[in-house]
Amino acid sequence: MPRFAANLSMLFAERPFLERFGAAAQAGFLGVECWFPYDYAPAVVAELLDAHGLQQVLINAPAGDWAGGERGIACHPDRIAEFRAGIDIAIEYARAVDCRQINVLAGVAPVGVDAEVWRATLVDNLRHAARRFNEHGLTLLLEPINTRDIPGYAVKGSDQALAILDALDAPNARLQYDCFHMQVMEGNLAQTVERHLARIGHIQIADNPGRGAPGSGEINYTFLFDWLDGIGYTGWVSAEYLPGPDTPASLAWLAPYLEDPSS
């Protein structure tokens, strides 16, 4: 059975952020992830993780002005110092909450910058991040994101992301495979995951269209979860979807995978 984690930036959003840890544990999740935890002291988060028996499986590195619409700055030649300062912040936070994986968002390709220039910046920045992460036993993740929802995003497919990771030549750099984004961009989820299994560090799930709960759209997640078991995927599968106003009501998909406490 896959190990399921809850993305607390999307799930249980009907509660204050610090209450979402307990809600995730109560729902049966074993791990949690979130986009940007930096508004909360790591000691507070670590205490909640310990109290609820949860593992922090992923955080994102700082990604620019998220509220202002930015979606990462790793490919921006004029933001290199800011990006690298953010990497140090992410390392400090990850170590404090015992999180072993950090997702680095490439960002939207900067307007007016030649593609070769922003790609070289992205590779250099990711190489720097991977080197710094490796000093602390951390894994860098690179996530391709669909350009329907984020037009112009710099890394938009699994093959492109893997080519960038090849250029890093970093053993601790792996692919973050978001099934929702890749269903939009390329489909063929099961065979793509199998083909790149050795290079995938993390999987995220949501259905399409609408980015809703598994089972709400066209992706056959019952098949896909069995497929992941069959091919030997041992990483985390994180629920990163729009649950509506009542997250527990969206969790019917999870019930078959929870242990029966009476057994």
Catalytic sites, residue numbers? 143, 240
Q: How many residues does the chain have?
A: 263
- Cβ-contact 44, 26 below 8 angstroms: no
Task: Single out the residue of 193, 217, 214 nearest to residue 256, CA to CA.
Answer: 214
**With contact defined as beta carbons under 8 Å apart, do 217 and 187 qualify?**
no
Question: In whole angstroms, how large is the CA radius of gyration of the chain?
Answer: 18
Strand-strand pairing, 173-178 and 3-7: unpaired
**Pairing relationship of beta strands 200-205 and 173-178 according to DSSP bridges:** parallel
